[in-house]
């Protein structure tokens, strides 16, 4: 679902909170009662104590909790962890994973399921609040409801569930899991929630059945540092062992087959692939639909200099091709040579597609020096990008602005990074025309976002 966006010209703001009345000084270890009022980037809840912002973990907005102060160095805010829920939210649930329960001390609980005590629908609302707050603070963009729709309804629709998650309560979705090995005991498990201590567990409720079949839970694996479990959608599950003191993992360079709708993709077992079983198809469809809308509006030129940046194994380039048809010309850029090889194989049937191994910033710098006809083709083109968690960043965003493509389709895994890049693009004359969020990491604070920008 796409949402109309009301642009209000908000100024860019830093994440710092203004100084507030200090009240009674807070000391580490002090117990305080808090009314939790909101959610912040990173999935931590927000409250105030005598005017001072307190970031409090393991709480849900709307609750009253007792919390222990863990950090009080800053004048404007403190950090605390919930020790007792005085007035619980109707959305509080028994944690989906006993080993990660918020009833355990953070040092003793498994990480990777920090929202597991919150009802799934409320998790998506909290993620929608994080996204809209980030876009308002850093992107200068305010979400507005469609005519006749309440804003709360727009928020409820902003973060879309992956198919099947509501039926499974968001369990059994991960096709990739990394475990770690305690160097002293050889015990295998995930890291603790807030440290690199290894937590022994007897289940992995977020993992799919293929991973559950091969997970070495309860085993001792001395000499091993990491255990990567991979369960492809169209191949056998496998275990990749990273030995202590070695940089390579046996089997990591083996090709495995993933199926997205009816299309097969070859991917290195140790390479990047979305971990949610439905995420590749969900993002493939979202990008295809975004490009289809651009085609319908007469804004997409298949013969122009279209780019797929941070292209990985070619998933999103293939999505563009499905929308644009056989006349598409597109270049996929990826710094990982093995992933580029996979992309070349996956895009081989597309005559106008090619995959290059290069750093994105360096390749764009070369394009900026290209001859006028090449620059003209690029200015008529569409750029699809799926950067790392840090976002495209200042240098790459500035280069894109100089290249001035007609459209930018931006897939983001961090809302603040996206929002900062949004402001830069908007200041350069691009209009944000579509924003969609995808809950492809249930029971965590993470989510993915698709933003479409059009050059005004």
Sheet of strand 224-230, all strands in order from the earlier edge strand to the far edge: 188-189, 176-181, 224-230, 238-243
User: Residue 46, by phi and psi: left (phi above 0), alpha (psi -120 to 50) or beta?
Assistant: beta
Instruction: Give the Cα separation of 419 and 34 in Å (integer).
Output: 30
CB atoms within 10 A of CB 440: 25
For residue 208, with 0-12 CB atoms within 10 Å meaning exposed, 13-18 middle and 19 or more buried, which class applies?
A: buried
> CA-CA distance, 317 to 350, in Å (whole number)?
10
What distance in Å separates the CA atoms of residue 413 and residue 280, rounded to the nearest whole number?
Answer: 14
Catalytic, 78? Answer: no
Phi, psi of 85 (to 5 degrees): -95, 110
Catalytic residue among 125, 413, 416, 417: 413
> Using only C-alpha atoms, what is the Rg of the chain?
23
Backbone angles phi, psi at 296, to 5 degrees: -60, -35
Q: Which residues contact 414 (CB under 8 A, 6 or more apart)?
A: 389, 390, 391
Could you tell me which of 329, 281, 312, 322 has the C-alpha nearest to residue 448?
281
Whole-angstrom Cα distance, residue 452 to residue 292? 12
Q: Which residues contact 28 (CB under 8 A, 6 or more apart)?
A: 69, 70, 71, 72
* Cβ atoms of 217 and 206 closer than 8 Å: no
Element spanning 85, H or E: strand 77-87
Helix (H) or strand (E) holding 452: strand 448-455
Q: How many CB atoms lie within 10 A of CB 181?
A: 25
Phi, psi of 225 (to 5 degrees): -100, -45
Strand order through the sheet with 353-357: 159-161, 430-439, 448-455, 407-412, 382-385, 306-309, 330-334, 353-357
**Residue 169: CB partners within 8 Å, gap ≥ 6?**
96, 120
The catalytic residues are: 413
């Amino acid at each position: 679902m796409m949402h109309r966006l009301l642009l209000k010209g908000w100024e860019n703001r830093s994440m710092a909170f203004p100084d507030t009345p200090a009240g009674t000084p807070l000391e580490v270890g002090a117990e305080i009662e808090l009314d939790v009022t909101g959610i912040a980037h990173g999935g931590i809840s927000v409250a105030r104590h005598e005017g001072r912002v307190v970031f409090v973990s393991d709480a849900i907005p709307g609750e009253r909790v007792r919390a222990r102060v863990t950090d009080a160095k800053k004048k404007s805010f403190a950090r605390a962890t919930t020790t007792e829920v005085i007035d619980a939210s109707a959305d509080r649930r028994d944690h989906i994973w006993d080993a990660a329960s918020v009833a355990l001390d953070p040092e003793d609980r498994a990480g990777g399921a920090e929202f597991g005590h919150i009802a799934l629908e409320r998790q998506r609302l909290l993620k929608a609040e994080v996204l809209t707050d980030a876009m308002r603070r850093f992107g200068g963009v305010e979400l507005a409801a469609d005519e006749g729709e309440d804003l709360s309804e727009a928020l409820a629709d902003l973060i879309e569930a992956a198919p099947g998650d509501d039926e499974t309560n968001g369990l059994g979705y991960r096709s990739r899991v990394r475990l770690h090995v305690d160097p002293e005991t050889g015990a295998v498990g995930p890291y603790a929630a807030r440290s690199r201590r290894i937590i022994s567990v007897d289940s992995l409720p977020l993992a799919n059945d293929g991973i559950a079949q091969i997970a070495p839970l309860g085993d001792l694996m001395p000499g091993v540092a990491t255990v990567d479990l991979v369960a492809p959608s169209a191949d056998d599950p496998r275990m990749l062992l990273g030995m202590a003191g070695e940089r390579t993992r046996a089997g990591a360079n083996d090709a495995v087959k993933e199926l997205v709708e009816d299309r097969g993709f070859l991917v290195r077992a140790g390479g990047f692939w979305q971990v949610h079983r439905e995420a590749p198809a969900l993002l493939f469809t979202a990008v295809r639909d975004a490009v289809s809308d651009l085609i319908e509006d007469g804004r997409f030129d298949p013969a122009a200099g279209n780019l797929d940046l941070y292209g990985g194994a070619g998933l999103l380039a293939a999505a563009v091709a499905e929308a644009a048809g056989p006349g598409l010309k597109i270049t996929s850029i990826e710094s990982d040579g093995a992933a580029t090889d996979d992309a070349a194989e996956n895009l081989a049937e597309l005559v106008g597609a090619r995959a290059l191994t290069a750093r994105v910033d360096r390749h764009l710098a070369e394009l900026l020096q290209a001859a006028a006809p090449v620059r003209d083709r690029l200015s008529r083109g569409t750029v699809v990008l799926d950067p790392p968690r840090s976002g495209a960043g200042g240098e790459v965003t500035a280069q894109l602005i100089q290249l001035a493509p007609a459209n930018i389709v931006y897939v983001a895994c961090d809302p603040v990074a996206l929002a900062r890049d949004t402001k830069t693009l908007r200041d350069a004359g691009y209009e944000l025309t579509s924003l969609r969020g995808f809950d492809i990491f249930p029971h965590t604070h993470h989510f993915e976002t698709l933003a479409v920008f059009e050059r005004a």
